[in-house]
Structure 1
């Protein structure tokens, strides 16, 4: 019996291309019938982001030099891709970027409950579709509860920061591997693919990986 294909995904729930890339990969995996196991890893797009977050237009302008018109064009492009992939982007003029250090801690805890993937998907939806404030620990605990995790325990995890060191070490590990942007996907612990590649490209990658195992 061959082992499932190990897929390590380094991402941040603030990153729209991370959910787009994942949904593309998901479709490719389903189409190819590839036996696989996914492991999510932390990356903070904006580790210095203040707790109150920042207006999205303002943030994109400061970080990338994009005009409001360019940001709107980019949003429309991503929304169209999302529609094709069954993911609903709902940006508004009030959309904000948030600090995600606590979201990564909550994900680390969810991993001990066997629910990391489910929580990751819920957080993407909470941020991009429902525009919830992921800087707010109360909101994060609510989201955990909504997928069936213990809300009191989730709140305690965020309050005492018990997974802070684990998250920092995870972030540092992938930075030391040369990861400086997301999404970053590592197949079989050795083949790095960056950016959202598109369904067809992911299918091609999976085919090549399968041939290497023959």
Structure 2
């Protein structure tokens, strides 16, 4: 039996560790079930008002979510453990900073025009969480494009000129109008919204249900 392809629209931010965890869990579920995924990534900014210097991660998490330093450390330990099981290296080093992700989303939009949206999204997750790079820096972003075999000079020019800024704003507004207020948010088959990382078993259950639906 040939499994159908299921479209999955993923609304996410590269600043969100649960977004990459959720994706990798979905990827594992697809491998387990034999379902092919038709992925489309969509922008969401967790920190749209963050300045160019960013903010130290622990201080940011404590302030934003009203938790203690100990609770923040416990949360990072959970993320590292869950990520390691999925092949994600969360390198939460002292001084790790949260960043404004608007330029990164513009780069993803630019990469989509070069048939590299998915690869760019994953490269940016790795750049932020594993390499600790400043993904709000244009030269850094152009360098990431180059590692994917894309035109770094065009990427840099696109970011300097803001060619994709309006497109990203429109896409963000669309998903906000659909009621998306947190990420990860995944829409399966353009019908079913699932929020939060569900684990490989949870996603496998969803995929099985969709495959079993009558055409």
Once the two structures are superposed, the pairs formed by residues 95-174 of structure 1 within 5 Å of their partners are 95-174=96-175
Give 5+ residue unaligned stretches, structure 1: none
Q: Which moved more, 1:21-30 or 1:3-12?
A: 3-12
Report the RMSD for the aligned CA atoms in angstroms: 1.2
User: Offset at 1:64?
Assistant: 0.3
Alignment deviations for residues 9-56 of structure 1 (CA, whole Å, 9 cap, x no partner)? 000000000000000000001111112210000000010010110011
2:21 corresponding residue in structure 1: 20
User: Offset at 1:4?
Assistant: 2.1
Normalising by structure 1, report the TM-score.
0.98
Structure-1 separation of matches of 2:93 and 2:64:
19
Alignment deviations for residues 65-106 of structure 1 (CA, whole Å, 9 cap, x no partner)? 111111110000000011100111100121110000000000
1:196 corresponding residue in structure 2: 197
User: Offset at 1:3?
Assistant: 5.8
SS at match of 1:204: helix
2:90 corresponding residue in structure 1: 89
Give 5+ residue unaligned stretches, structure 2: none
Structure-2 separation of matches of 1:182 and 1:11:
5
1:70 corresponding residue in structure 2: 71
1:44 corresponding residue in structure 2: 45
How many positions carry a matched residue from both structures?
214
2:179 corresponding residue in structure 1: 178
SS at match of 1:213: coil
